Chain A
Amino acid sequence: MSSTSIEAPAASTGNAVSVQATTDRVSSGWVLILGATSGIARALAHRLSQDGHSLILAGRNQEELTRLASDLRLRHNVNAEVAEFSALDYASHPEFFENCIRQTSGRLKGVLLCYGDMLPQAATEKSFDDARRVIDVNFTSAVSILSQAATYLEERKSGFIGVISSVAGDRGRQSNYTYGAAKAGLTAFTQGLRNRLYKSGVHVLTIKPGFVATRMTAGLLNTKSPLVASPEKVANDIVRAIKRRRTVLYTPWFWRPIMALICSIPESIFRKMKL
């Protein structure tokens, strides 16, 4: 239990993942978390270690990852390893992934892509470098690292890949369309990947969070708003969706109808709206 749930008990009353799925239970085995310092990833790491998973925590900030790993070991008595991963250093991805396989002695069963980058829309309009960073971190790098993961799991004929995209990818809006476009690309890529890996029994989950109270949104959202979810709630939803082998997860659930509504507005009207 995190301390936020102590201060605001209501925030973390997500459904406990007690329902046993009929198929592949997410229990034990190694899971690789890419971008493990992210707010959602931290909550996921706790949730997964409660189920007894061993974790590889990958990211840029080794000191932070080491602290997170110590915490998971002490709290949940699980294996937690740290690995250096930089999304934009594509050339390093094959070796990085090989090391992960080696580190887990071939028992890597799942990969969760949790990193992402959101720069202000205005910045991406003024500076192509900024726009490119948003596209490359959220999309290009995912193509690179997910291809590694897909090939490996496809050969093993089992396992799962969970990818955090965003509701922002469902429709381009003037307030956030560079990020939205990158996430739209990511969503389409994971759709194709799911299709490709179906026959090998590898499960691919596309995760579309709405507003989540993390560093990415600090100061942008009113965390008390009912539209803003805690990372713990989102993590619970993700783990349950993996257990149930769902395909596309909106989290919290109400973003599915909200986005359906937003997507149903004709372009001729949408272009006049301020969204």
Chain B
Amino acid sequence: MMSADSLRGTSELLSGWGNYPRELCRTRSIESWQDAENAVQSSNTTNVIPRGLGRSYGDSTLTQDGVVLRMGHLNRFLAFDPESGVLECEAGVSFAEIIETFLPQGWFLPTTPGTKFVTLGGAIAADVHGKNHHVDGSFGNFVNRLTLLLADGAIIDCTRDNDPDLFWATVGGMGLTGVILSAQIQLSRVETAYCDVTYRRTRNLESTLEMFTATHQSYRYSVSWIDCLAKGASLGRGVVMLGNDASAADLPRKLAAAPLKLPRRRAKTIPFDFPSFALNPWSIKAFNTLYYAKNRDRREFVDFNSFFYPLDGINHWNRIYGQRGFVQYQALFPTETAHVGLHQLLERIAKSRQASFLAVIKGSGPATQGMLSYLFPGITLALDFPNRGKATRDLFEQLDEIVLEHSGRLYLAKDALTSADTFARMYPRLSEFQRVKERVDPNNRFVSSQARRLGIVTGLELNQSEAVGNSISAGAH
């Protein structure tokens, strides 16, 4: 029943948030620093890849012939300075836990993705961005120090000063430089747990983009839902949400009594995978039309949960896409080409009748120095597609062409389908990253299925005798 392996793992069918692709992987829960060291050094596997809460969509936390290190239990707060808001904690701490513990003391995340069920490690590895990217940039800007476990077993403190290359290869580096054990980050002061939000409907893409430009200075947060099924003159119409942190003085009396307290909300749960007919062009069209019609221009105070994490109110919402899962397409266009690029992209998508109801665009600001970090100044668009196998892959290929043509790029945290060739053209600093990888991990101890597919890690053969199973791509063939 038992073996004396130093790295026993459980085999499980694993996927990212999109439930596509699914691969049979060995996994191991990391509960102490010693566990992590043992796993990285173990002779029972050729490679490992860390995994946080699995909120990236594709295959960045999968490896078929290695071991997936589940980091969620390495979640201890190590130090906090209530004067400066500097927090040190282990990489498995989730944003939800940070909020639960520090929001009551008047501290919030300096920037946050659209779900709080991400780990600190995952947020750093993807250099995530939030609704304030145009003002504050991405998460890497708020990381002071990383404690890294490298392939050779060394545990090092890494800062942007003592080893800028390694620091900026790790921020945005998708777990490929080593295991982030802990990090020191800067939280930001808030007076309340609310945003002062203005909603504006727009007629078309042009007016949506104009709205972003016009409000860049005056709003810390901005994002727009868009109706990706609208065509012709209404192409790109949407609802722009603009917000600022609400000060205590602004709050209506009812909320001012407990300004840092989040209202309770009961999460609903999607109990099982929906059948594939649940999402069809008609139901999606109906949703989009209704959503647009329902959202009148208005201004209101919205609590952080509802403003930053609307989808977190529904557990397992990814199940609405059924067994075959879904893929997100998130692309960035530089400011100069954004209008034309988006126009072409949206037209192509509307024509395909494949897109789903979650389409979001947002203006981005200055890039961090992350070598594989996603955003630079421009406009980014994200939308979900139910996985229809070949039809989806063909569409994505066409979309990739449009993105490339306009000097855009895709986001690694969302990608599941693009090719190595396309990726290399989108990320000119890839070779710089690979040089750092060669220095700290010459034997490719850290590998993910995504890194393999995209050629970020090269010179690998999938070791068939070790692979516990083949890719089970849930009907995508």
Contact = CB atoms under 8 A, between A and B. Distances in A.
Interface of A: 1-4, 6-7, 9, 37, 39, 42, 61, 63-64, 67-68, 70-71, 74-75, 120-123, 175-176, 213-215, 218-224
A270 B364 CA distance: 69
A39 B79 CA distance: 22
28 contacts: A1-B97, A3-B75, A3-B97, A4-B72, A4-B73, A6-B72, A6-B94, A6-B117, A7-B53, A7-B54, A7-B117, A67-B76, A70-B77, A70-B79, A71-B76, A71-B77, A71-B78, A74-B101, A75-B77, A121-B2, A176-B1, A214-B31, A218-B8, A218-B9, A219-B7, A220-B2, A220-B8, A223-B10
B72 A120 contact: no
B396 to A, nearest CB: 28
A3 B93 contact: yes
Contacts of B93: 3
Q: Which of B2, B4, B28, B96 has the most CB of A within 10 A?
A: B2
Interface stretch (B32-40, B254-262, B421-429): B32-40
B100 interface: yes
Contacts of B54: 7
Contacts of B8: 218-220
B53 A6 contact: yes
Nearest to A213: B29
A9 B117 contact: no
A52 to B, nearest CB: 16
Interface residues of B, number: 40
B15 interface: no
Nearest to B28: A218
Is chain A's binding surface mostly helix, strand, loop or mixed? helix
Contacts of B100: 1
Nearest to B7: A219
A140 B26 CA distance: 36
Interface of B: 1-5, 7-10, 12, 28-29, 31-35, 53-54, 72-73, 75-80, 90, 92-94, 96-97, 100-101, 117, 119, 267, 269, 315
A97 B101 CA distance: 33
A220 to B, nearest CB: 6
A232 to B, nearest CB: 11
Contact of A37 (B9, B32, B117, B267): B32
Contacts of B4: 120, 123
A272 B6 CA distance: 32
Of all A-B residue pairs in the complex, the 3 with the closest CB atoms, nearest first, are: A219-B8, A71-B76, A74-B77
Q: Which of A6, A175, A222, A224 has the most CB of B within 10 A?
A: A6
Nearest to A118: B2
Contact of B34 (A39, A61, A176): A61
A64 B29 contact: no
Given A2-B72, A3-B93, 14 more contacts: A3-B73, A3-B94, A3-B96, A4-B72, A6-B94, A6-B117, A7-B72, A7-B117, A64-B34, A71-B76, A75-B101, A214-B31, A219-B7, A220-B1
B9 A219 contact: yes
Contact of A64 (B12, B32, B117, B315): B32
A9 B78 contact: no
A159 B34 CA distance: 34
Given A1-B97, A3-B92, A75-B101, A219 B32 contact: no
Contacts of B12: 224
Q: Which of A64, A214, A219, A222 has the most CB of B within 10 A?
A: A219
Given A6-B94, A120-B3, A222 B10 contact: yes
A185 to B, nearest CB: 21
Contacts of B96: 1, 3, 6
A39 B73 CA distance: 10
